[in-house]
Structure 1
Amino acid sequence: MPTATSSTIEPVFSPLDLRGRPLTWQVGAVVLGTLFLALSSYIQVPMVPVPITMQTFAVTMVGALYGWRLGGITITAWLIEGALGMPVLAGGAAGAHHFAGPTGGYLFAFPVAGALMGWLAERGWNGNRVVLAFLGMLMSNALCLALGAAWLAAMIGAEQAIVHGVMPFIVGGVLKSALGAAVLRLLSRGKMHPTE
């Protein structure tokens, strides 16, 4: 039976097991993760002032699969790419000005939301416990909406920020959280503990 110390040092949370990989693997994972995040940005439903995309799905998946540290680094690297002019943001958008506009709060919230999901995944909120994985994804989505709406409220007022920056994204957040939990479950099938 594993001790508390051994489970703290090496938590089993990811089918990718990136924590135990060499640095070159981790760098490669960051590159692939930023590509995944960029591709998710092209899947969108245009809305004003903030479009609906698959970004939050990708952000929470990167967090869950990479862990809070490497996930946060990967998401931040993707945002830096966007700020430097690479077409990796929603719909292929690029440029630092997006970080000062209506979507700025959501962009800054992404590394925090991904890190939260990674932190929870490291503590068992993963594919081995699909309900907890769903709740973790839901919490990460909610955090992203809350931080994004707070930023948006400074521009258009609190009521309008909730109407335009939160309400249209609630159903999508629930569906993306369910999809994320299902994907984690599928990816974790071979990683189940013997007692589960």
Structure 2
Amino acid sequence: MTTAPATSAATSVFSPLDPKSRSLSWQIGAVMIGTIILALSSYVEVPMVPVPITMQTFAVVLVGALYGWRLGVITITAWLVQGAVGMPVLAGGAAGAHHFVGPTGGYLFAFPIAGSLMGWLAERGWNGSRVWLAFVGMVLSHAVCLLLGAAWLAVIIGIEQAIIYGLTPFFVGALLKSALGAATLKLLTRGRMRRVTR
């Protein structure tokens, strides 16, 4: 009798952070922390030409899953604006608006879309409470990044080269980062459920 309401309360919140119930000042702080996490993920890099492998997409989909689509998009967009105005927050510490029209431009513009997709799905139950759905959601979000990024790259270097250099090298990494993201959500959600049921 006493555990049913607690379980319901734990599963009704899409994110262990519960951003929808937080104050404006908390949400502003969350955006600031989120941009720092996104910037740090940019420094975890395997240099490749023309597009490096980074942990950016992992951070993007995780921010979407934890913040929801609205706050997630605000956070991801704030990070991209920081990069555009010259802060060293893009891949490998890169900065400048020219990156948004170069080979990586498609991926950069895809980040808010991918984050919003994952946030939208998380708000509908594709979250840490349902780890397999969270994994599938993150795979779909990674796919959005890869497809939009490769589409823009194809304009610059051609379709065949874009597939070779901007799409296929990232498949395995996308799956691994999706699995890591889903596991992270599961761990955070389990911790919240313990706190609620006590």
Q: Confirm or deny a common fold (TM above 0.5).
A: yes
Shift of 1:191: 4.0
Letter of the aligned partner of 1:83 in structure 2? A
Q: Deviations over 1:107-151 (max 9, x none)?
A: 000000000000000000000000000000000000100000000
Counterpart position of 1:121: 122
Letter of the aligned partner of 1:24 in structure 2? S
Alignment of 1:1-196 (within 5 A): 12-192=13-193
Shift of 1:12: 1.5
Distance 2:88 2:30 in 1: 20
Letter of the aligned partner of 1:187 in structure 2? L
Distance 1:68 1:12 in 2: 14
Letter of the aligned partner of 2:97 in structure 1? A
Which stretches in structure 2 are left out of the alignment for 5+ residues? none
Worse-superposed segment, 184-193 or 82-91: 184-193
Q: Is the 8 A contact 1:16 1:66 kept in 2?
A: yes
Distance 1:60 1:123 in 2: 15
Identity %: 74
Distance 1:28 1:12 in 2: 20
Distance 2:192 2:95 in 1: 38
Distance 2:40 2:100 in 1: 19
Distance 1:22 1:120 in 2: 23
Letter of the aligned partner of 1:60 in structure 2? V
Q: Is the 8 A contact 1:59 1:113 kept in 2?
A: yes
Q: Is the 8 A contact 1:128 1:192 kept in 2?
A: no
Distance 1:98 1:190 in 2: 39
Structure 1 stretches of 4+ with a deviation exceeding 2 A read: 190-194
TM-score between the two structures when normalised by the length of structure 1: 0.92
Q: Is the 8 A contact 1:11 1:122 kept in 2?
A: no
Q: Deviations over 1:57-105 (max 9, x none)?
A: 0000000000000000000000000000000000000000000100000
Letter of the aligned partner of 1:43 in structure 2? V
TM-score between the two structures when normalised by the length of structure 2: 0.91
Q: Deviations over 1:2-42 (max 9, x none)?
A: 9xxxx9xx951100011110100000000000000000000
Superposed CA RMSD: 1.8
Q: Is the 8 A contact 1:138 1:173 kept in 2?
A: yes
Distance 2:158 2:20 in 1: 43
Letter of the aligned partner of 1:93 in structure 2? A
Shift of 1:190: 3.6
Distance 1:160 1:120 in 2: 32
Distance 1:114 1:29 in 2: 15
Q: Is the 8 A contact 1:113 1:143 kept in 2?
A: yes
